[in-house]
Each structure stands twice: as structure tokens, then as C-alpha cells.
Amino acid sequence: MNILEIIIEQSPPLIIAIPLLGAFLTPLISRLSGKARNVFVGIVIALTGFLIALLASDVFANGPRTYVFGAKNLALPVVRILFEVDSLSVFMAIVTFILAFVSLVYSWSFMNKENDGLDKYYTLILLLFTSTLGMELTGDIFNFFVFLEISCISSCALIAFYTGRGESVEAAFKYIVISSIGALFVLFAIGLLYSQYNALNIATLAHVIQYTFLDKIVLMLFIAVLGMKAGLVPMHMWLPDAYGEAPSSVTIIIIGATQASLYGVLRICFTLYGGMFQNVTINSFVIGWIILVLAIITILIGVIMALIQTDFRRLIAYAAVAEIGYIFLGVGVGLAVLSNPGLMEVGKTAMQGGVFHIINDSLDIGLLFLVAGAIYYTTKESSLDKMGGLARNMKYTTIFFVIGLLAVSGMPPMNGFASKLLIYESIYQLNPILSIIAILCSILLLATFVKVLHSAFLGPKLPKFDDVKEVPRSMLLAMGIIAAIIIFFGLFPEFVLNNLVKPAVDALVSNASYISKVLGVI
């Protein structure tokens, strides 16, 4: 076994351990200097990214990889945790890494004006990064809950970073209330599973699950809580508060944490409850339709509410709600039709669209938040009513905004178009009306962001913005990185679909290989 193979074998725990250790060391490094701290956090995130890349290449080539913390012999009465990394896990880890890396680059200039609390800021960023990765890599349902809790606490502290602003503290309070209640229900659901099957490992549970009435309750609890954490309407109301009040560099990383909750829904529905597609006691068609109805309401209300917002960041937050609806639309179609052999391919296409849209949504909404942050950085304004003519002074930011606008609205040739097209076409096979509503909402989303383009960037140059200059290079670089990925994904969707999305969807749809791999280890 060469050194590279050893690193790959140890990469699942290292991906968690390195940023976690980095988080605890950051306050100490901060004592040296701010620059040393920034470099240190950069190295930590880059090293984690390198390990994610190695693990991804291995998982895509050789299938799921497991790592056992504790004793391998199940007969021993010891606590142990299994990490189970399949193509979907590494897909999500890649999304999380991109968002964290961009957030870091953006923070170098964006947070530079803050004189106090940056050591805590970077510590919390690394903790949030760790917990999000933990949720995505773990194969243990209780461990998932632990990482979910760490994610909630670190997100809450980051949302309230501007402690001097009442709105930020209020948003953080609402977030922690909602998250804590949700986490308690997750714990309750895990307790119900453990009491029945004496197991916490997802694959083991999937192998022995009997689809009892209690199991149905557990499924509903997970869908409700993780759907709320992902931003499903009408449980979305924390999201505009949190996204709108957190610093933009934080919002982009919280988007990753939100997507991890969505990953939780996928993992529960398709892996833990994957047998429901062949089971008669639980109807996957009805569950699919429940998610479809929630998804279409999410899209509608998200878009309609976005249209009337005058605060730039709240507007993007409502658009983010709508985008989450599109992802759930793809997932809902998959759930509804995968049990029907005649519509299996439609279900897979819908799932590909949904999973592809996870990364596209993260990038598009992330870019728009960075643009909103750039405007706030230079003008100290967030209200669209007080902006105008900024394109004259902020040319690059305007270009990035236009890229984000086209991408989030699903305009060709951007990335959002490719994933939405897959969703539209597949849902059309199930119900054409839902497809038409989804397309109309995309048009409304375009109209919403055209409003922003007009009111913030176009129009006459306002005298009060005479001195406004373009944002520093690190912020432009962060926006540029995301814009470049958006364009690449938009121009080469087939490449991304074949190499990233399809393996993830295949891993999700065929849970038998996931279960057998883990049971082989146990």
C-alpha cells in the first residue's frame, strides 16, 4: 500500500478531523497575527479540499468507502461509529468545499473592516464547515444528529456576528429556536428507530427496517424537520431572516449547511427507506406527491414573496426558498415514479435534475449573496430603494450579478437552465400543470432579478454614490471563482452530469450496494 492509498483510506476521518482541529487552533494562531490566521484557515480548508478530491476520485472509481471508528468486532460492547462515503456524499462534500473556500477568499477583504471577533468568526466558519461535512459523510444516524446540532449552534453564532445590530441577534434567536425544536424531533425519531431495531447505522437500519406504523411516523418526522431546515414552505420563515441578516460571507456557507439538510432528506428517503419502492405497506407514490405539493408551494410563495422585497438580501433569500422548491420537485418526481418500472427513467432524470440543481442553486444563490455583500461593503446600503446607477462604478460586480441573475433564473446557457430543463421535462411526464407552474415561476424569478438590475445597477449615476469604488480583489476573486464554475457547468452540462451527478443519483437510487458494502464491513 503506497502513501496515496493510505491517505485515501484515512481520508474520511481526516476530512472531519483537520478542520475541527483547525477550528480549535485558530484562536491561538490569531494571537500571532491576523494574516497568519487567514493563511492558516486557508491551508486548513485547502488541505481538506485536497482530501475530498482524493476521496472523490476513489469513490467514483471504486464505489462506496467505509471507515470504522472504534472496534470492528460487533460482539464487543463498545461505542463505534461508521462513516459511509458514496458518490452522493462526495458530491455534497465537493459543494460544501467550494462554498467554504469561496467564503474564505471573500472574507479576507469583506471582514477586514471588523476590528474584533475575527478569531471567533474563523473558528465558527471552520466548525460549520466540519459539521456540514460530518452530516454528509457519516453513516450513523445519531452521529448525523450530533453534526446537525454543531451546525445549528455554529450557524446561530455566525448569523449573530453583528451583535450590535438588533435584527441580526433576532434572526439568530429565531434560527436557534427553530433549529433546536427541529433537532429534538430528529432525536425523537432516532429514538423510535433505536427502540425498534437496536441499531443506529443507516445501512443496518435499511437492511432490517419493517416499515411499521412507527417507521412511517419517523419518516414524516425526518421529512418535516429536514424539510424545515432546508427551507420548505410554510416552514421557511427563518430562512429570509437568517440569510438576510448574516454577513454575506457567512450566508454562502450556511447555504452549504442548508443543502446538507436536504441531503439528509435524500439519504433518509432513498437509502434508509429505500425499500419502500418495493414495499406495499408504505406508498412511495403518496410520499412523492406530498413532497411535490410542498415543493410547488415553496416555488410559488418563494417567487411571489421575492418579487415584492425591497431589501436586496431578503429578496435573494426568498429566491433561495424558491430554488429549494425546484430541488424538491425533482426529488418528489423521483419518489413518486421510481416504484413504477415504466417510469423508472423519468424518475432517474428528475433525480438527476434535482441533484444537479443542488450544486447549481448553491453556486447561483451564493454568487448573488456575494454581490449583495459587495454592494453593502461599498455603499452600506441593502435597500433597493436607495440604490441606483452602481454599474457605472462597479463594473465587475455588475457583470457577476448579471451572470448570477441569468443562472438563478434558469436562462440558457447558464447552469441553472440545464438542471431545470431536466426537472421540467421529467415532471411534465408526471403532471404537465406542475411543469408549467415551475416554468412560469422561473420567468417570475427572472423578472424579480431584472428589477434588482434596474433599481441597483442601472439608471442615472446617483450623486451620493460618486465616491463608490469597485470592491477589493479578494472579493472579486471569490465572485469570479463562482462565476467561472457557473459558466463551466452551463457550457458543459453533459460533462458535469456524467462525472458528478449521475454517479451520485445512481448511488442514491440503488441502495442495495450501499447496504451490502457496509454490512460486509460489519
Contacts (Cβ under 8 Å, ≥6 apart) of 438: 296, 299, 326, 329, 420, 423, 424, 427
DSSP code at position 244: H
3-state DSSP assignment of residue 65? strand
3-state DSSP assignment of residue 381? coil
Contact status: 494 vs another protein (CB under 8 A): yes
Contact status: 421 vs another protein (CB under 8 A): yes
Which residues in 107-136 contact another protein (CB under 8 A)?
none
Helix/strand/coil percentages in the chain, nearest 5: 80, 5, 15
The Cα 187–Cα 441 span in angstroms is 36
Binding mask 310-339 for another protein (x = CB under 8 A): x-----------------------------
**CB 215 within 8 Å of CB 209:** yes
The Cα 157–Cα 181 span in angstroms is 17
**Which residue, 134 or 503, has its beta carbon nearer to another protein?**
503
3-state DSSP assignment of residue 72? coil
Q: Torsion over CA of 95, 96, 99 and 104, rounded to 10 degrees?
A: -150
**CB 363 within 8 Å of CB 407:** yes
**Which residue, 22 or 231, has its beta carbon nearer to another protein?**
231
**Which residue, 120 or 386, has its beta carbon nearer to another protein?**
386
Contact status: 440 vs another protein (CB under 8 A): no
Q: How many residues bind another protein (CB under 8 A)?
A: 73
**Which residue, 65 or 348, has its beta carbon nearer to another protein?**
348
Q: Which helix (H) or strand (E) holds 84?
A: strand 81-85
3-state DSSP assignment of residue 68? strand
Contact status: 429 vs another protein (CB under 8 A): yes
- Does the N-terminal peptide bond of residue 413 adopt cis geometry, omega within 30 degrees of 0? yes
CB 483 → another protein: shortest distance, Å? 16
Which residues in 249-308 contact another protein (CB under 8 A)?
282-283, 286-287, 290, 294, 301, 304-305, 307-308
**Which residue, 119 or 311, has its beta carbon nearer to another protein?**
311
3-state DSSP assignment of residue 383? strand
**Which residue, 67 or 424, has its beta carbon nearer to another protein?**
424
Piece of 71-79, 107-115, 365-373, 413-421 that binds another protein (CB under 8 A): 413-421
Contact status: 185 vs another protein (CB under 8 A): yes
Binding mask 495-514 for another protein (x = CB under 8 A): x-xxx---------------
**Which residue, 60 or 185, has its beta carbon nearer to another protein?**
185
Contact status: 493 vs another protein (CB under 8 A): yes
Applying CB under 8 A, among 28, 447, 512, 519 the residue interacting with another protein is 447
Which residues in 348-367 contact another protein (CB under 8 A)?
349
Q: How far is CA 274 from the centre of its chain?
A: 22
Contact status: 178 vs another protein (CB under 8 A): yes
Contacts (Cβ under 8 Å, ≥6 apart) of 209: 197, 215, 272, 273, 275
CB 273 → another protein: shortest distance, Å? 11
How would you write 190-236 as a 3-class SS string?
A: HHHHHHHHCCCEHHHHHHHCCCCHHHHHHHHHHHHHHHHHHCCCCCC
**CB 94 within 8 Å of CB 49:** no
**Which residue, 43 or 440, has its beta carbon nearer to another protein?**
440
CB 12 → another protein: shortest distance, Å? 29
Applying CB under 8 A, among 173, 197, 376, 396 the residue interacting with another protein is 173
Contact status: 235 vs another protein (CB under 8 A): yes
**Which residue, 137 or 485, has its beta carbon nearer to another protein?**
485
In the numeric block, which cell numbers belong to residue 358?
443542488
Binding mask 193-232 for another protein (x = CB under 8 A): --------------------x--xx--xx-xx--xx---x
Q: Torsion over CA of 35, 40, 46 and 48, rounded to 10 degrees?
A: -150
CB 435 → another protein: shortest distance, Å? 12
The Cα 154–Cα 128 span in angstroms is 6
Piece of 16-24, 249-257, 362-370, 377-385 that binds another protein (CB under 8 A): 377-385
Nearest residue to 150 via CA among 288, 224, 260, 45: 260
**Which residue, 15 or 411, has its beta carbon nearer to another protein?**
411
Contact status: 182 vs another protein (CB under 8 A): yes
Distance set, CA 399 to CA 147, 395, 416 (Å):
37, 6, 17
**Which residue, 225 or 370, has its beta carbon nearer to another protein?**
225
CB 387 → another protein: shortest distance, Å? 7
Tell me the residue type at 390: L
Piece of 43-51, 71-79, 328-336, 484-492 that binds another protein (CB under 8 A): 484-492
Which residues in 381-400 contact another protein (CB under 8 A)?
383-385, 387-389
Distance set, CA 81 to CA 138, 151, 201, 272 (Å):
8, 19, 8, 17
DSSP code at position 152: H
Which residues in 52-91 contact another protein (CB under 8 A)?
none
In the numeric block, which cell numbers belong to residue 401?
450579478
Applying CB under 8 A, among 17, 25, 47, 462 the residue interacting with another protein is 462
**Which residue, 50 or 285, has its beta carbon nearer to another protein?**
285
**Which residue, 51 or 218, has its beta carbon nearer to another protein?**
218
Residue carrying the nine cell digits 491551508: 43
Contact status: 451 vs another protein (CB under 8 A): yes
